[in-house]
């Protein structure tokens, strides 16, 4: 392992997150940002100023050449071993006026989802959330709030009867466009208010080990029907990728998304 990779592994183990700098080349950022912002606003399933598009790689493939960068995969594989998969891919635009959200942990730790790992959690990373920053993440434009070291807790504020809109140790994920922030999915995080007149654009890519069951995320599967549709609460969904879109993806990316084929 390189010194940089060792440091990143240590940061995730201790803090629950780390940063990877310059994952998106600077000459590419502006064009990708405009392309993604347009498609998120066109396809959002939540009214603006909160632009949100699940299954985004089925709509926009601008980031596809970068998602298998060895700096990302080496870090993920250090925890999960080989044969990792991309479990979710979401386009986001946090527009001016977006309000602050409550702290939570992502699937499969969101306790309001019927498809969840029940608390108390084993102290094992099982899912990584990566924020691909296409605009600068600043304190004013709503950079995501996090609580460092909260990934080691046995529960999170999404459990019934719990809610948390602020925390004394909260910080923000700050970084220039082109940065990727990598989070253990257990880490408590929340939407921050955007106090500027500019939108904040990012794509959220989640990486999973081969052994994590992703069928509860996929409409039309038995586990989605039996666990999610028949249960109380909500679970994120990931639309399928059509074969025609899948065939346009880089060859090295296809193994990470083959399970998403329609």
Give residue 1's pLDDT: 54
Q: What is the distance between the alpha carbons of residues 49 and 141, in angstroms, rounded to a whole number?
A: 12
Q: Is residue 256, in this structure, part of any structural domain at all?
A: no
Q: Is residue 262, in this structure, part of any structural domain at all?
A: no
Q: Is residue 258, in this structure, part of any structural domain at all?
A: no
Taking the chain (262 residues) in runs of 10, the rounded mean pLDDT of each run is 91 98 97 98 96 98 98 98 97 96 95 93 96 98 97 92 88 98 98 97 98 95 93 87 97 97 86
Residues 6+ apart with CB under 8 A from 230: 114
CB 112 within 8 A of CB 60: no
Q: What is the distance between the alpha carbons of residues 246 and 252, in angstroms, rounded to a whole number?
A: 12
Q: Is residue 171, in this structure, part of any structural domain at all?
A: yes
Give residue 170's pLDDT: 97
Q: Is residue 261, in this structure, part of any structural domain at all?
A: no
Residues written for the chain:
262
CB 51 within 8 A of CB 135: no
Domain that holds residue 61: 3-251
Give residue 202's pLDDT: 98
CB 135 within 8 A of CB 178: no
H helix or E strand, kind and range, residue 71: helix 70-80
Domain CATH for 155? 2.60.120.620
The residues that bridge with 145 in the sheet, in sequence order, are 172, 190
Q: Is residue 111, in this structure, part of any structural domain at all?
A: yes
| Residue 166 neighbours by CB distance under 10 Å | 10
Q: Which of 237, 186, 179, 187 is nearest to 203 (CA)?
A: 179
Q: Give the chain's domain count.
A: 1
Give residue 127's pLDDT: 98
Q: Is residue 206, in this structure, part of any structural domain at all?
A: yes
Q: Is residue 19, in this structure, part of any structural domain at all?
A: yes
Residues 6+ apart with CB under 8 A from 105: 150, 151, 156, 158, 185, 186, 187, 188, 189
């Amino acid at each position: 392992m390189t010194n940089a990779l060792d440091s990143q592994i240590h940061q995730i183990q201790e803090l629950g997150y780390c940063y990877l700098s310059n994952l998106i080349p600077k000459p590419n950022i502006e064009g990708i940002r405009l392309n993604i912002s347009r498609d998120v606003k066109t396809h959002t399933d939540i009214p603006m100023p909160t632009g949100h598009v699940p299954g985004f790689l089925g709509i926009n493939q601008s980031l596809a050449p970068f998602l298998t960068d060895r700096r990302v995969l080496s870090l993920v594989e250090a925890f999960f071993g080989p044969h990792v998969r991309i479990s979710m891919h979401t386009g986001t635009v946090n527009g001016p006026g977006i309000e602050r959200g409550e702290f939570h942990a992502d699937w499969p730790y969101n306790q309001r989802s019927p498809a969840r790992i029940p608390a108390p959690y084993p102290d094992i990373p099982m899912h990584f959330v990566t924020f691909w920053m296409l605009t600068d993440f600043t304190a004013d434009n709503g950079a995501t709030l996090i609580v460092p070291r909260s990934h080691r807790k046995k529960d999170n504020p999404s459990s019934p009867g719990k809610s948390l809109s602020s925390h004394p140790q909260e910080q923000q994920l700050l970084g220039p466009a082109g940065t990727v922030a990598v989070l253990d999915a257990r880490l408590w995080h929340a939407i921050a208010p955007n106090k500027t007149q500019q939108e904040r654009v990012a794509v959220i890519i989640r990486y999973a080990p081969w052994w994590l069951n992703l069928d509860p995320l996929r409409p039309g599967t038995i586990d989605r029907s039996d666990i999610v549709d028949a249960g109380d609460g909500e679970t994120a969904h990931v639309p399928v990728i059509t074969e025609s879109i899948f065939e346009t993806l880089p060859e090295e990316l296809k193994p990470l998304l083959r399970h998403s084929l329609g």
